[in-house]
Structure 1
């Protein structure tokens, strides 16, 4: 049954010790994915074929009834996802067409509960939000961090912890635990992301402390970024922890040298399904997420993609997120 927004908005804050640090992660290329009989991470094999045999679940009429009439009558859920290839989040199967990953799997489960046909639209990062603004898409399920700035325009129903990682070339010997550890280093990050915001904040902190700021670099795609990392043109890459850990395990060429909550040192970051603010969709989405958490299909999906450590116990609507930059 639907639960109140007040209950869901309870903060998921937790204090982090200095050992839990901001980390950079890499976004692996398609070739970094693990396949049947290929490289393994924690003993988990990933099916890269277009025949995904996805986990499914049943429609829940009481939750579906909460959908806006326009969506219920249309019969489809228009879902936006990022076109960046990020195994195990969202990437292409070995047919180079079928979209697979933990994000599409969760999106399909949500659509199942709502009794809708899922339509996954792969677009550039900026077009995810333009599509939400124009109502072209109903929801974005694409590793989007809940932030205070984003909540001015979008509602969030959370479904996964947001942890970031710093990736370095294997054998670097580095440990990234605090802003001073990246002073003067060359670090790649994707533009428009919360990890970019955090990296800029760290760079400003070290500059104010009289240290050399971070040399921040941007690349067009994952292949170029990892080529730069492995060739020594950049020191680190900051991105989502799942992709950094996956790339390191599947290639053996990189390593995670620090991890950190995507919301900063005092708040556990959360990934959420984003909808246009006041669209009427966030409550049924949160209820659908709670249903798959309750019935166990959510846990099966996370285990399938080796992401069980990022599980949440409930979907929260618009909880405290990454704070706005001050000053």
Structure 2
């Protein structure tokens, strides 16, 4: 059943249809771990509908947010996705959801793709298909400015960090021996850090730099950076091969014509796309 028609049904009918396996990208199927996952999405499907449905937070500045808390959705990831959709000859329709529910939305067929700074890692590659990276960056360990005990990730052993439980940084905090306090996002992490309720937080350096650009918060600092860079791509249901190939072709063209560099400069002051 077409996703757009499904959205017009009553809540009770939608629940019944979902249980029966109906969704925007086709019936649910078993994933590699035996759990239900959305059927692959094809390029032909989205071109026939004229729309690609995109899962994103809408509260994750500077990647996906509303300027001044209102108005049109914008941000680096949003503009990149709109440019990719334009290359595919379709409209990008964004569905905003909390990060902790975003993968469930993709698996349930609510979205065709996620554009929300999704780091590519082995665990996710086993469950989803990814485009080529459109953002490359380091992770940073952030503490209070007067904290001289934490100068490396090894120093997190026995300390408390604030992390979203489904983020890549949560895994790094755990691997470093930290006790993790669950939060919804960066703003809450900074708040807990300043209140002394956690010792540190790990996040993307670009998020930190964007925050400091607007806030110039002298109470926090970068204590360490990851040696390895993280790569971010668009996430699709497993098996969406031709759609991923088309997205990669679009990203190549946007890189070649300077669009990705221009968007990077707009939001970060440097090219973060490669």
If the length of structure 1 is used for normalisation, what is the TM-score? Answer: 0.65
User: Would the aligned equivalents of 1:188 and 1:236 in 2 still touch at CA under 8 Å?
Assistant: yes
- The equivalent residue for 2:79 is 105
Following the alignment from structure 1 to structure 2, what is the Cα–Cα distance between the partners of residues 256 and 164? 10
Following the alignment from structure 2 to structure 1, what is the Cα–Cα distance between the partners of residues 108 and 179? 36
Q: Does 2:226 correspond to 1:260?
A: yes
- The equivalent residue for 1:275 is 236
Q: Does 2:139 correspond to 1:164?
A: yes
Give the alignment partner of residue 242 of structure 1, picking from 206, 226, 235: 206
Following the alignment from structure 1 to structure 2, what is the Cα–Cα distance between the partners of residues 170 and 90? 28
More helix by share: 2
- The equivalent residue for 1:133 is 107
User: Would the aligned equivalents of 2:165 and 2:182 in 1 still touch at CA under 8 Å?
Assistant: yes
Query: How do residues 309-324 of structure 1 correspond to structure 2 at under 5 angstroms?
Result: 309-312=271-274
Q: Give the CA RMSD over aligned residues.
A: 2.0
- The equivalent residue for 1:30 is none
Deviation at 1:247, TM superposition (A): 1.8
- The equivalent residue for 1:149 is 123
- The equivalent residue for 1:10 is none
Partner of 1:161, secondary structure, is strand
Cα gap change, 1:296/1:220 in structure 2, threshold over 3 Å: closer, same or farther? Answer: closer
Partner of 2:180, secondary structure, is strand
Deviation at 1:221, TM superposition (A): 4.8
Deviation at 1:108, TM superposition (A): 0.9
Following the alignment from structure 2 to structure 1, what is the Cα–Cα distance between the partners of residues 107 and 271? 32
* Runs of 5+ consecutive residues of structure 1 not aligned to the other structure: 1-66, 204-213, 313-327
Q: Does 2:124 correspond to 1:177?
A: no
User: Would the aligned equivalents of 2:100 and 2:164 in 1 still touch at CA under 8 Å?
Assistant: no
Following the alignment from structure 2 to structure 1, what is the Cα–Cα distance between the partners of residues 101 and 135? 22
Deviation at 1:219, TM superposition (A): 2.5
Deviation at 1:175, TM superposition (A): 5.7
If the length of structure 2 is used for normalisation, what is the TM-score? Answer: 0.77
Partner of 1:274, secondary structure, is strand
Following the alignment from structure 1 to structure 2, what is the Cα–Cα distance between the partners of residues 174 and 160? 31
Q: Which runs of 4+ in 1 moved over 6 A?
A: none
Q: Does 2:73 correspond to 1:73?
A: no
Following the alignment from structure 1 to structure 2, what is the Cα–Cα distance between the partners of residues 126 and 190? 8
User: Would the aligned equivalents of 1:190 and 1:239 in 2 still touch at CA under 8 Å?
Assistant: no
Cα gap change, 1:121/1:228 in structure 2, threshold over 3 Å: closer, same or farther? Answer: same
Following the alignment from structure 1 to structure 2, what is the Cα–Cα distance between the partners of residues 97 and 176? 40
Following the alignment from structure 1 to structure 2, what is the Cα–Cα distance between the partners of residues 234 and 220? 15
* Runs of 5+ consecutive residues of structure 2 not aligned to the other structure: 1-41
- The equivalent residue for 2:62 is 88
Partner of 1:132, secondary structure, is helix
Following the alignment from structure 1 to structure 2, what is the Cα–Cα distance between the partners of residues 189 and 199? 8
Q: Does 2:91 correspond to 1:117?
A: yes
- The equivalent residue for 1:216 is 180
Deviation at 1:293, TM superposition (A): 0.2
Deviation at 1:215, TM superposition (A): 2.6
Following the alignment from structure 2 to structure 1, what is the Cα–Cα distance between the partners of residues 105 and 182? 24
Give the alignment partner of residue 225 of structure 1, picking from 189, 211, 215: 189
Following the alignment from structure 2 to structure 1, what is the Cα–Cα distance between the partners of residues 107 and 200? 34
- The equivalent residue for 2:262 is 300
